Amino acid sequence: MKEKRETVYVKADRNSVCYEPQVKIKDVMSVQCTDPAICSAIKNKTLYAFKKTETSKKKRIEVFSILNVIELIQADFPEVEVLSYGEQDFVVEYISSRIAPKWMEIIKVVVMCVVIFLGSAFTIMAFNNDVSVGEVFDRFYMQIMGTKKPNVTEIEVFYCLGLAVGILVFFNHVGKKKITSDPTPIQVEMRKYEKDVDTTFIENAGRKGHEHDVN
């Protein structure tokens, strides 16, 4: 009677981030099988090691095929059957663990806050001028009060407050806290952007022959 082969299940995410130059299989995918020894050995097997010339850069990206992983596993365990339930091609992103100086991080935050504040202010003022919000307020005040509107009234105050509240509600954030458990619009757009970037990396690596695949 033919002996039953051990089945190993692997599941890779589209993108994995590693902070150590030596990337193990367990760092980029989930592994499961009934034999604990085989499972542990596969998880701790080295998938890729970034070279010193590569680790000198703050960020490196490599693209892998799941067939390459299956080949590595079966090189040590030829008797096992590997089944993949994740991505067929995936990206491994290595980020150097070197910590930037505190003063540099502060400068980055300050510059980013200034740019966002000025950009947002310019956008809001340009929109208000484009749709003639000032004239609308003047006419509205005249119709309600019957007199010419002063320079600053309750309308402008409540308009500014409503604008601020609307932005906070729309972006679902107050400081570090979220108003609801739903993903914020920025998080949704960032996930879409990351997905498009990963797809581009995978397609470019495949066309240029830089993908880690079976021979």
Say whether 52 sits in a helix, a strand or coil: helix
Tokens at 108, concatenated: 């980055």
Query: 90, 13 in Cβ contact below 8 A?
Result: yes
Question: How far apart (Å, rounded) are the C-alpha atoms in residues 215 and 209?
Answer: 11
Condensed to tens digits (0 to 9), the pLDDT of residues 67-107 reads 999 999 999 998 899 999 988 999 999 887 666 678 888 89
Buried b (16+ CB within 10 A) or exposed e, 185-212: eeeeeeeeeeeeebeebbeebeeeeebb
- Strand segments, DSSP code E, in the chain are 7-12, 15-18, 22-24, 29-32, 46-49, 59-65, 81-84, 89-95, 173-174, 177-178
Alpha-carbon Rg of the chain, whole angstroms?
27
Query: 100, 43 in Cβ contact below 8 A?
Result: no
pTM beyond 0.85, yes or no: no
Condensed to tens digits (0 to 9), the pLDDT of residues 151-207 reads 888 888 898 898 888 888 888 877 777 778 888 888 889 999 999 999 998 888 888
